Amino acid sequence: MSDKTLDLLVTLWPSFGHFGRFIRDHRLAGVRMNSAMITVPELEKELAAIQAAVGDAGAMPLYFDIKGRQMRVTEVHDNDSYLDITLNHPITVKTPTEVLFKAGADFAVLDHLEEDGKRLIFQGGPKYNVFPGESLHIRHPSLAVHGSIFTDVEKVKIEKVKEAGITRWFLSYVEGQADVDEFLELVGKDAEVWLKIESQKGLDYVAEKFVKAPNLVLVLARGDLYVELEHPHEILGATKLVVEKDPEACVGSRLLLSVVAEPVPSCADWNELAWLYDVGYRRFMLCDELCLKEPLLATAVNAFDAFRGAYAQKVA
């Protein structure tokens, strides 16, 4: 951790117009690059731009997020009658079943699977369009994700990032020690890896099998975890579990979202920061939505720094 009471991480790419501003912001402890919607050629351009964008601010830790077993859309097939998509991983699940899109804000009913479980055929479709790179959620207990945890494309991304000299990583949808071991084989056994807990199976791993190591950090990744949980209130117990198992844990996403609509954080947002601090979190990460636009990110960083000074440092 930095020498501040609290660490704040954000998600940016060098191509963002505000990357240069925030990579030099002493109030931040790191920048995460999210691989979700980026192709290999696009990644190569971003990595090439890092040195020019970072310059003398090279001390800011950079992290790269690999998606692992997370289900993501690779292709949307033309069809006016129903949604027809291909996934990055083959799956099995009892159908028909509900599939959630847009972080749970939209849904459609999966009718059946084709092409060994990688092609999903729906009964109609969701309200909003679905695009390649987007994630989806299937909460039916029969769901199983098959094949290699890391697709060929993800493996290429890993090699490109290693060649660029980045040694810090996030790994999405960690659900067992085998996921961690396989990833460490790819990036190096001593690499710093932040393990994103985003499902009930991930929480079970944390509760029963996780062993803390100096290079491993748990992340309560609430953006997806909150959608994956069967009951919304279960996020409260999950929040306490993760930091109990790893005092260095990070809590990410769904923070300070009220600033999307208003210039001043809501009372609920201030109180949530205080509660997360009180249960033990000292590392926080803002969600992609706040980081995409400079004014929103500036407001959120200012608010967090005010919280750091007005509450956390006085309570510590």
Q: Work out the mean pLDDT of the chain and round it to a whole number.
A: 93
Tell me the H-state helices in the chain: 19-23, 40-54, 152-163, 177-187, 200-208, 222-228, 234-245, 267-278, 288-291, 294-307, 313-315
What is the structure's pLDDT at 55? 66
Tell me the H-state helices in 218-309: 222-228, 234-245, 267-278, 288-291, 294-307
Query: What is the token pair recorded at 275?
Result: 């509660």
| Confidence band of 35 (pLDDT split at 50, 70, 90) | confident
Tens-place pLDDT, residues 243-253: 999 999 999 99
Tens-place pLDDT, residues 109-124: 999 999 899 999 999 9
Taken in order 273, 277, 279, 281, the sign of the CA dihedral is positive
What is the structure's pLDDT at 3? 38
- Among candidate residues 139, 143, 90, the one with its CA nearest the CA of residue 119: 90
What is the structure's pLDDT at 51? 74
Question: In Å, how far are 51, 81, 98, 193, 261 from 187, measured between CA atoms?
Answer: 21, 43, 36, 9, 40
pLDDT surpasses 70 at 57: no
